[in-house]
Structure 1
Amino acid sequence: MESITRQSVRLCPFINKTASSLRNVQTLQQSNMPLLAQKCPFMGQAMQKAHLATAAAPEAARAPSDTGASSQASVQDSMMAEHGTKESKFDYDGLFEREIQKKRTDKSYRFFNNMNRLAKEFPMAHRQMEHDKVTVWCSNDYLALSKNQQVVDVMKKTLDKYGAGAGGTRNIAGHNQHAIRLEAEIAALHKKEGALVFSSCFVANDAVISLLGQKLKDLVIFSDELNHASMIVGIKHASTTKHIFKHNNLEHLEQLLASYPKSTPKLIAFESVYSMSGSVADIGKICDLAEKYGALTFLDEVHAVGLYGPHGAGVAEHCDFEPHRKVGVASPSFATTMDRVDMITGTLGKSFGTVGGYVASSSRLIDWLRSYAPGFIFTTSLPPAVMAGAAEAIRYQRSHLDLRQSQQRHTAYVKKGLADLDIPVIPNPSHIVPVLIGNPDLARQASEILMDKHRIYVQAINFPTVARGTERLRITPTPGHTDDLSDILLEAVDDVFNTLQLPRVRDWEMQGGLIGVGEANYEAEPNLWTEEQLQLTNGDLHPNVKEPIFDQLEVSSGVRV
């Protein structure tokens, strides 16, 4: 009883106010506590519930007892019930199952294939069993540099000398000569004052965009509707005003920009090559708009670095191909398209064959990001061997124009072969070959038939990576996908279309067309690489691109004053 009394003082405002001490409560118990309790808005309600419950019980079930004691017991029991919980915990597993079932129902559930790419048999890979080999046609290892012997040798030597890991963040564990060299190579590639390496380009995009939104008061972000998820997440984390402009629609972009004073801080976020459609942004015209309306430009070159420009710096370099080719690692005498872009992000995990991401920009902006971006400060550095390999890959591809040209020729061969078979390919001027299916379940089945029957791996691309109704197979040739392999692919894709009765170009035409396939009066853009550019040789590059020596970037370690 004494413990109940103590709880009453703690839980009931009425008793707590009436009895200032335990002794007073005990006195109330001996006198008229039930009467006083009835006046309490909390206890009175509890007593009334207890009384009704007692009155409803059968007479024979009531044990004879003192009325006062019974009332007190009912009050105590009721009070304890009010402050207890009879609810079960939230059904977490049920939520997870329902969400997964949604994806199974709409056919967007993803199956990951066990692919073990073989360095010495590129582009072959084995599945779970080593004898079960397939040809990979959807890797983003665009230049096959992941198996390049120079890159592999550098990584092996670095691994033996410096070990597997970096030891922590650069902020705590310090950085190393491999990070310093890599950032110097990246800055030189994009002809910028500085560069900063992140664990991935997803992290880089998120970190840069979100920090801009958090630090630039009243920033307005203008984002292309097909921007990558990493940019979308960065914009969300920026917690600022945003506008989505129609894909590559500069008129729409200008309308949005013009609705704000020039003094309002603005950021235009876009990509050079959009990986799922292969479409390409007009970087020069976007820079024109940025200068006209006082905006910064943020360009994601993830699917373009290594593949465009005389030295593999991306589409921004490709816009001024000849001037860059003639001066090599130096800068032309005028402000190039690449110069006009404020921030360029890229990846080390696609054309450069390793892993990681980066941003290249002015030394002041890089120092600011290095000092404030949580995605950089609080993330363990890339391993020394990875950074050494990435730097070697950048140096190697810079002087090997033939890699880019070979990739383009193989892409052109596949695109022409598919066109001859009336296979619908979403038109674009880049190296991406998106075969339109238009149905998630059929896209999955097409991928499975290619794998199981033809030993060819091409992953189906479904929502949310692409819009519903535009599902596709995404093919990416490399320098290793020779014409004989391409012929096997073409025959296999034709068989899949026949087996599943998938719509061909003529069928899309009858339906009015979709995203450039079968659309009347659609004007396809010319390929980014011209015939003249494809005829050049490595010897046509400036001699300074071979083994250039770059000074360490002061901003990589911190600018001393």
Structure 2
Amino acid sequence: MESLIRQSAKVCPFVHKATSCSQGLSQVARTNLPKMAKQCPIMGRAISGSSSRRGYATSSSATAAATNPTTSQSTETVVDHGTQESGFDYKGLFETEIAKKRNDKSYRYFNNINRLAHQFPLAHRQMEDDKVTVWCSNDYLALSKNQQVVDIMKKTLDKYGAGAGGTRNIAGHNKHALMLEAELAALHKKEGALVFSSCYVANDAVISLLGQKIKNLVIFSDELNHASMIVGIKHANTVKHIFKHNDLDHLEEMLKMYPKSTPKLIAFESVYSMSGSVANIDKICDLAEKYGALTFLDEVHAVGLYGPHGAGVAEHCDFEAHRVSGIATPKTKTTMSRVDMITGTLGKSFGTVGGYVAASNTLIDWFRSYAPGFIFTTSLPPAVMAGAAEAIRFQRSHLDLRQDQQRHTKYVKEGLKDLGIPVIPNPSHIVPILIGNADLAKQASDMLMNKHKIYVQAINFPTVSRGTERLRITPTPGHTNDLSDILLDALEDVFNNLQLPRIADWEAQGGLLGVGEKDFVEEKDLWTDEQLQFTNKDLHPNTANPAFEQLEVSSGIKL
């Protein structure tokens, strides 16, 4: 305090005069400075003027509460701010922020959708007789309703109860966790895997830990990466660079700025869920090897759907090698083996809930030992883990699920193109119908629901950029051609009634996101005609009922 007053005395005439008395600086430091400030010709006016103003950032210092008891006889009056000021207007802040969302049409209303296990893809709304067809679920293979998955979850629930009992650190883990992690490691042909409560948590935990523990790590992130990866990068608290979506020339320009010895991480997704675009994993791995970077691949919207065994796009890149080898690792180097870390979800194609990371034993042991998002989170319930493991086993040997999903997607995309309804072009299973206006996207969604009994959620900011709002359709093996024809008729009616822009309209405006853009070259579908001709019998026999040993890394590697 005395040091502060000495400095103030040098520049402020009022403080200089006040501290020049015989009492000295220490006595001044024990006085009520707010009262002294009111006597100052400058601060006095500022304080009196501020009392009539109010804003969201107003707060009071509890200086008076720290008054020294030995000075209680002082004649100075201590101001009790706690009783003389108005409190922060929390409600006003919240209401203002919500009003912003309503005004810019990005406010989200959640529909009451109750998906029926035995009538998929039907669901009922509030009343059970009010049924709709769901066209936007991420339960891509409908395994949440698969009887084998449901049966094993029921048995596990009856035997082991509803919950896990806490974190692994406190409650230990169980055979269901061990089996699930063994299944995941085998799926991605990695040495180990670690299960989290969600893939959002997994992405955040893994990326943030890498940044916090690897000194001078530089992270390179695709601009369309999921929010979970963005949050993880923020929590990493290190240098980051954002490269243009799938622009590997831009990525390399950024990588060149650092010596090869500088630790680096390239974070990207395989299938980007709102556009359906797909990363060139091999070329990103080439850059990683050239510039000394680790690779982090999010396969959330690809597991279950690509590759002969549903391991994702990385497996699909070497489809034939993996098909022939089955669950065994091919003798040649593959794209999947080049990726350092693969994260995925249990909550989409695998029909349950949770997330995971698959990597080397060393990396998994490191995550298990240091990641707060794993250490301090209650484990998934045994029934959930047993169901997820069963779903992985089932889909691995059922190639036809992936093929049917692709065929139905192709049928819908071709039907929309014939109607002139704009679909953002992509080589994946995502069908994003471009609307370009938040209000119209919501109206289109409401009309589909209320008039045609079809549920397709509108996708608005911040999930997608303003001006690129869309309807996102995701066919499944259960969305047969007859249901697709009903959907196409309904969309034709909606586009006519709302006068929504079609492909020709976007073309007249110069195009957007590949829709109506001159000289735009569409990518070929990931699934080739030849791959769609294989049957379940063409898979290696070892995919059916393999027996996996417990992963040592799941419990901790003993020395």
Please indicate, yes or no, whether the TM-score normalized by the shorter chain is above 0.5: yes
Q: Which residue of 2 aligns with 1:458?
A: 456
Q: Map Cα deviations across residues 441-473 of structure 1 (whole Å, 9 max, x no partner).
A: 000000000000000000000000001100000
Matched, 1:524 2:522: yes
2:174 to 176, 196, 199: 176
Q: Which amino acid aligns with 1:417?
A: G
> 1:80 Cα deviation (Å)?
3.9
Instruction: Specify whether residues 161 and 85 from structure 1 end up closer, same or farther in structure 2 by C-alpha distance, changes over 3 A only.
Output: same
Q: Which residue of 2 aligns with 1:53?
A: none
Q: Which residue of 2 aligns with 1:428?
A: 426
1:302 to 282, 300, 303: 300
Q: Which residue of 1 aligns with 2:217?
A: 219
CA–CA separation in structure 2 for the residues paired with 1:46 and 1:502: 64
Instruction: Specify whether residues 216 and 452 from structure 1 end up closer, same or farther in structure 2 by C-alpha distance, changes over 3 A only.
Output: same
Contact 1:223 1:270 in 2 (8 A): yes
Contact 2:32 2:77 in 1 (8 A): no
> 1:165 Cα deviation (Å)?
0.2
Q: Map Cα deviations across residues 43-98 of structure 1 (whole Å, 9 max, x no partner).
A: 9959989xxxxxxxxxxxxxxxxxxxxxxxxx989714477752111111111111
2:427 alignment partner, SS class: coil
1:324 to 322, 325, 336: 322
Q: Which residue of 1 aligns with 2:412?
A: 414
CA–CA separation in structure 1 for the residues paired with 2:397 and 2:113: 31
Instruction: Specify whether residues 522 and 46 from structure 1 end up closer, same or farther in structure 2 by C-alpha distance, changes over 3 A only.
Output: closer
Q: Which amino acid aligns with 1:295?
A: A
Q: Which amino acid aligns with 2:471?
A: L
1:487 to 473, 482, 485: 485
Contact 1:210 1:234 in 2 (8 A): yes
Q: Which residue of 2 aligns with 1:122?
A: 120
Query: Counterparts of 1:24-35 in structure 2 under 5 Å?
Result: none
> 1:334 Cα deviation (Å)?
1.2
Contact 1:47 1:78 in 2 (8 A): no
2:96 to 87, 95, 98: 98
Q: Map Cα deviations across residues 212-256 of structure 1 (whole Å, 9 max, x no partner).
A: 000000000000000000000000000000000000000000000
Q: Map Cα deviations across residues 461-498 of structure 1 (whole Å, 9 max, x no partner).
A: 00000011000000000000011100000000010000
1:539 to 523, 537, 540: 537
Matched, 1:505 2:503: yes
CA–CA separation in structure 1 for the residues paired with 2:474 and 2:275: 12
CA–CA separation in structure 2 for the residues paired with 1:45 and 1:254: 61
Q: Map Cα deviations across residues 388-445 of structure 1 (whole Å, 9 max, x no partner).
A: 0000000000000000000000000000000000000000000000000000000000
Q: Which amino acid aligns with 2:478?
A: G
Q: Which amino acid aligns with 2:535?
A: T
1:79 alignment partner, SS class: coil
Instruction: Specify whether residues 83 and 304 from structure 1 end up closer, same or farther in structure 2 by C-alpha distance, changes over 3 A only.
Output: closer
Contact 1:317 1:337 in 2 (8 A): yes
TM-score, with length taken from structure 2:
0.88
Q: Which residue of 2 aligns with 1:231?
A: 229
Instruction: Specify whether residues 411 and 85 from structure 1 end up closer, same or farther in structure 2 by C-alpha distance, changes over 3 A only.
Output: same
CA–CA separation in structure 2 for the residues paired with 1:555 and 1:539: 34
Q: Which residue of 2 aligns with 1:159?
A: 157
1:478 alignment partner, SS class: coil
Q: Which residue of 1 aligns with 2:265?
A: 267
RMSD of equivalent CA atoms = 2.4
Q: Which amino acid aligns with 1:384?
A: P
Q: Which amino acid aligns with 1:125?
A: A
CA–CA separation in structure 2 for the residues paired with 1:106 and 1:46: 45
Q: Which residue of 2 aligns with 1:33?
A: none
Instruction: Specify whether residues 469 and 551 from structure 1 end up closer, same or farther in structure 2 by C-alpha distance, changes over 3 A only.
Output: same
In structure 2, the gaps of 5 or more residues are 1-18, 41-72
CA–CA separation in structure 1 for the residues paired with 2:282 and 2:265: 16
Q: Which residue of 2 aligns with 1:374?
A: 372
2:557 alignment partner, SS class: coil
Higher CA-based Rg: 1
Contact 2:184 2:193 in 1 (8 A): yes
CA–CA separation in structure 2 for the residues paired with 1:381 and 1:324: 32
Instruction: Specify whether residues 400 and 46 from structure 1 end up closer, same or farther in structure 2 by C-alpha distance, changes over 3 A only.
Output: closer
> 1:324 Cα deviation (Å)?
0.3
Aligned residue pairs total: 508
Q: Which residue of 2 aligns with 1:24?
A: none
- Identity, in percent, stands at 79
Contact 1:46 1:78 in 2 (8 A): no
Query: Counterparts of 1:385-396 in structure 2 under 5 Å?
Result: 385-396=383-394
2:198 to 181, 200, 205: 200
Instruction: Specify whether residues 224 and 14 from structure 1 end up closer, same or farther in structure 2 by C-alpha distance, changes over 3 A only.
Output: same
Matched, 1:557 2:541: no
CA–CA separation in structure 1 for the residues paired with 2:534 and 2:386: 29
Instruction: Specify whether residues 160 and 504 from structure 1 end up closer, same or farther in structure 2 by C-alpha distance, changes over 3 A only.
Output: same
Q: Which residue of 1 aligns with 2:255?
A: 257
Instruction: Specify whether residues 81 and 117 from structure 1 end up closer, same or farther in structure 2 by C-alpha distance, changes over 3 A only.
Output: same
Query: Counterparts of 1:20-59 in structure 2 under 5 Å?
Result: none
2:475 to 471, 474, 477: 477
TM-score, with length taken from structure 1:
0.87
Q: Which residue of 1 aligns with 2:395?
A: 397
Instruction: Specify whether residues 130 and 265 from structure 1 end up closer, same or farther in structure 2 by C-alpha distance, changes over 3 A only.
Output: same
Contact 2:32 2:76 in 1 (8 A): no
CA–CA separation in structure 1 for the residues paired with 2:467 and 2:205: 32
Q: Which residue of 2 aligns with 1:67?
A: none
Contact 1:224 1:270 in 2 (8 A): yes
1:100 alignment partner, SS class: helix
